Copies of this chain bind each other. A is one copy, B any other.
Amino acid sequence: MALAMDAAALNAFLAAEFPQVVPSHRVEEATEAGVQVRLTADPGQLRPGGTVSGPAMFGLADVAVYAALLSRIGPVALAVTTNASIDFMRKPAAGRDLIAEARLLKLGRSLAVADVLIRSEGEEAPVARASMTYAIPPKTA
C-alpha cells in the first residue's frame, strides 16, 4: 500500500486549504502505520496554568485523523468529521508541545475510522485518546 501524500505534501495541502490550522499544527511523519502531528499551541489555545485547552486537543486529534486519511486517499478538501469521541486522561504538561499519533482503522468508500493518542512531548503516558469517523464525499467523474 503506497502513500498518496507524504508529510511535506500534507503540510502544503493544509497550508493552502486550512490556513487557520497552520502554523500551530505540523505533520511530522506520515507512514503506512499512520501519521504524527505536532501542536505548538498559541496563546488562545491555552488555559490558566499554561496547559492546552480541550477544544485545542480536539482540534489536534481532528487534524491528525484528517492527515491520516489524506495520506491514503490524496487531497480531498471536502471530507468531514461526522463523529468523534475523546477521553481526556491527564493534564498536559505546561509549556510542552503535544504530539498526536493517528492510525487509520478502516478506509471504506464512504466512511473512514481512525484512532489517536495524544502525548505531551517527551512523556510516555497519553493525555488524551480519541476516535473519529470521517465521511468521504463520492467521487465525481
Query: Is A55 touching B59 in the complex (CB atoms < 8 A)?
Result: yes
Query: Is A84 touching B86 in the complex (CB atoms < 8 A)?
Result: yes
> Is A11 an interface residue when CB atoms closer than 8 A count as contact?
no
Partner of A55, one of B56, B87, B105, B125: B56
Query: Is B20 touching A44 in the complex (CB atoms < 8 A)?
Result: yes
Size band of the A side of the interface? 35 or more
Query: Is A83 touching B86 in the complex (CB atoms < 8 A)?
Result: yes
> Is A4 an interface residue when CB atoms closer than 8 A count as contact?
no
With A89-B105, A115-B115 known to touch, is A58 a contact of B47 (CB < 8 Å)?
A: no
Provide the residues of chain B in CB contact with A12, threshold 8 Å. Answer: none
What is the 8 Å Cβ interface bit string for chain A, positions 107-121, against chain B (1 contact, 0 not)?
000110101010000
Distance, CA A54 to CA B55, complexed state (A):
9
Distance, CA A89 to CA B134, complexed state (A):
12
Provide the residues of chain B in CB contact with A20, threshold 8 Å. Answer: 44, 46-47, 53
Distance, CA A58 to CA B59, complexed state (A):
9
Query: Is A87 touching B131 in the complex (CB atoms < 8 A)?
Result: yes
Provide the residues of chain B in CB contact with A48, threshold 8 Å. Answer: 17-18
Q: Residue on B with the closest CB to A82?
A: B88
With A58-B54, A86-B84 known to touch, is A135 a contact of B106 (CB < 8 Å)?
A: no
- Apart from A82-B133, A105-B129, what 6 extra A-B contacts exist at CB < 8 Å? A54-B62, A58-B58, A80-B88, A83-B86, A110-B110, A115-B129
